[in-house]
């Protein structure tokens, strides 16, 4: 039996050409794998048929939308995952779920190699291949664009010559990757980082400068994940989809950053993630009232490390798993409701309510009913500041005055 290669197939020009290109270069049969992570566009059936028409011996398609929402987007929400404080990991979290299906397909169809359409300059090649090595250590990897000199020009030429059922004239100036968690746009005139994004860059969001009337949404969370919107029960996927529409209509979640890729390049990216950004804003505020102070402070560090690991393609790594366990444990009491106002590019928290809140009105109030014993504050402050005071007394002893270096002219 000839050896087989499974290919991560999007249905677009490059991966459609890659089917024949890889088969010719390696003499092996190609199995196309298409995974729906909520990217929209053509149906899986259309994509499946095109793969077969382009020469794939088999086509494996999977509707992974709920799997992606439940097992990849929700952990990202629990971690408030924002790379460089801005990017909600849109592409970074879709690679591991696609990888899982690639490895499953390789096993099902007896393939020894996995192929993907990434270039040699980005993060995604790393995410796919590190994931494949981890889930299927016996598998080899190949990337036709990177390893078999498949350029855009050659792809167009090949598609026309072989009469492949794929559009070759439609010229999109951008490289786009999208799923239900968001949309990433790069290249073209955006590579000049002084250029502002034009209207045609955006698809998930409306222009926030001319918003419709404010939209107030009540989000109910159970242990860190959304379970209802305005009192209506939703799945994680439905929560993201509905908030993509509502927050998208208000222009929420547009992000423009120059980011540090794992491979050492700084690159300009435009993202749109209306649902994700609204959910993260709500989730963060619910954590503010339900996590104990030290837990919250420490979790910030864990969240950041988790986010960097995921960005860097370490989704299946032992440390990422350990941090998941920590984060999951912190979510035990992150339940309750957040009222968010969506308007003009911003998701603003207006109210919070939780049975498991640590906010204690009788401790916080300055009005009647104050239960906080203010007299204990004095002793607390004396002891809390003692080590600094003792150090300052040493300065007095040695230099005749306290050390204000760096503070300038206090002893003027
Ligand atoms: N820079 C982002 C990341 O590494 C997005 C890359 C998405 N790919 C694309 N062709 N736009 O996660």
Which tens digits make up the pLDDT trace of 360-378? 999 999 998 899 999 999 9
Nearest ligand 1 atom to alpha carbon 311 = 12
Q: Give me the pLDDT at residue 312, please.
A: 98
Q: pLDDT tens digits for 161-207?
A: 999 999 988 778 899 999 999 999 999 999 999 999 999 999 999 99
Site to probe by mutation for ligand 1, drawn from 123, 130, 185, 273 as the one with most ligand atoms within 8 Å of Cβ, is 123
- Structural domains for the chain: 4-171 (3.40.50.620), 176-291+334-359 (3.90.1260.10), 362-397 (1.20.5.470)
SS (H, E, C) the chain: CCCEEEEECCCCHHHHHHHHHHHHHHCCEEEEEEEECCCCCCCHHHHHHHHHHCCCCEEEEEECHHHHHHHHHHHHHHCCCCECCCECCHHHHHHHHHHHHHHHHHHHHCEEEEECCCCCCCCHHHHHHHHHHHHCCCCEEECHHHHCCCCHHHHHHHHHHCCCCCCCCCCCCCEEEEECCEEEEECHHHHCCCCCCCHHHCCCCCCCCCCCCCEEEEEEEECCEEEEECCEECCHHHHHHHHHHHHHHCCCCEEEEEEECCCCCEEEEEEECHHHHHHHHHHHHHHHHHCCHHHHHHHHHHHHHHHHHHHCCCCCCHHHHHHHHHHHHHHHHCCEEEEEEEECCEEEEEEEECCCCCCCHHHHCCCCCCCCCCHHHHHHHHHHCHHHHHHHHHHHHHHCCCCCCCCCCCCC
Q: Does the structure show a pLDDT above 60 at 411?
A: no
**14 an active-site residue?**
yes
Q: How far is the CA of 366 from the centre of ligand 1 (A)?
A: 50
Residue 403 pLDDT level (bands cut at 50, 70, 90): confident
**124 an active-site residue?**
yes
Nearest ligand 1 atom to alpha carbon 124 = 4
Q: pLDDT tens digits for 111-157?
A: 999 999 999 999 999 999 999 999 999 999 999 999 999 999 999 99
Q: pLDDT tens digits for 63-87?
A: 999 999 999 999 999 999 999 999 9
- Mean of the per-residue pLDDT values of the chain: 96
**95 an active-site residue?**
yes
Q: Does the structure show a pLDDT above 80 at 402?
A: no
**387 an active-site residue?**
no
Q: How far is the CA of 184 from the centre of ligand 1 (A)?
A: 6
What residues does ligand 1 touch, defined as CB less than 6 Å away? 91-92, 123, 175-177, 184, 186, 269
Residue 406 pLDDT level (bands cut at 50, 70, 90): low
Q: How far is the CA of 26 from the centre of ligand 1 (A)?
A: 28
Q: Which of 50, 95, 127, 246 is catalytic?
A: 95
Residue 280 pLDDT level (bands cut at 50, 70, 90): very high
Site to probe by mutation for ligand 1, drawn from 90, 92, 126, 184 as the one with most ligand atoms within 8 Å of Cβ, is 184
Q: pLDDT tens digits for 86-124?
A: 999 999 999 999 999 999 999 999 999 999 999 999 999
Nearest CA to ligand 1 atom 8: 177
Q: Give me the pLDDT at residue 169, please.
A: 83
Q: Does the structure show a pLDDT above 60 at 3?
A: yes
């Amino acid at each position: 039996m000839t050896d087989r290669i499974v290919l991560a197939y999007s249905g677009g020009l490059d991966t459609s050409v890659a089917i024949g290109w890889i088969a010719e270069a390696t003499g092996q049969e190609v199995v196309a794998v298409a995974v729906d992570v909520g990217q929209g566009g053509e149906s899986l059936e259309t994509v499946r048929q095109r793969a077969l028409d382009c020469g794939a011996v088999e086509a494996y398609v999977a509707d992974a939308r709920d799997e992606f929402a439940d097992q990849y987007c929700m952990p990202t929400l629990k971690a408030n995952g924002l790379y460089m404080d801005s990017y909600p990991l849109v592409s970074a979290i879709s690679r591991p779920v696609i990888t899982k299906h690639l490895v499953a397909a390789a096993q099902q169809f007896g393939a020894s190699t996995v192929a993907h359409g990434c270039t040699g300059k980005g993060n995604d090649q790393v995410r796919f291949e590190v994931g494949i090595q981890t889930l299927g250590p016996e598998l080899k990897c190949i990337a036709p664009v990177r390893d078999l000199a498949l350029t855009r020009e050659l792809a167009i030429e090949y598609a026309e010559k072989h009469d492949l059922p794929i559009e070759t004239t439609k010229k999109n100036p951008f490289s786009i990757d999208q799923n239900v968690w968001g949309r990433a746009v790069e290249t073209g005139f955006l590579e000049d980082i002084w250029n502002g994004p034009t209207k045609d860059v955006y698809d998930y969001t409306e222009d926030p400068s001319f918003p419709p009337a404010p939209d107030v949404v009540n989000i109910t969370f159970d242990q860190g994940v959304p379970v209802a919107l305005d009192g209506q029960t939703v799945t994680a996927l439905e929560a993201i989809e509905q908030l993509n529409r509502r927050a998208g209509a208000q222009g929420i979640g547009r992000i423009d950053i120059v980011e540090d890729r794992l491979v050492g390049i700084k690159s300009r990216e435009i993202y749109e993630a209306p649902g994700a950004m609204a959910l993260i804003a709500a989730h963060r505020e619910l954590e503010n009232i339900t996590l104990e102070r030290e837990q919250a402070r420490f979790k910030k560090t864990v969240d950041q490390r988790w986010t960097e690991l995921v960005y860097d393609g370490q989704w299946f790594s032992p440390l990422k798993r350990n941090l998941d366990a920590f984060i999951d444990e912190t979510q035990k009491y992150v339940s309750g409701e957040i009222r968010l106002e969506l308007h003009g590019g911003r998701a603003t928290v207006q109210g919070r309510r939780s049975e498991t809140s640590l906010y204690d009105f009788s401790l916080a109030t300055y009005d009647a009913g104050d239960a906080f014993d203010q007299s204990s504050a004095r002793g607390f402050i004396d002891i809390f500041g003692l080590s600094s005071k003792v150090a300052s007394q040493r300065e007095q002893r040695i230099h005749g005055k306290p050390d204000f270096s760096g503070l300038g002219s206090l002893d003027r």
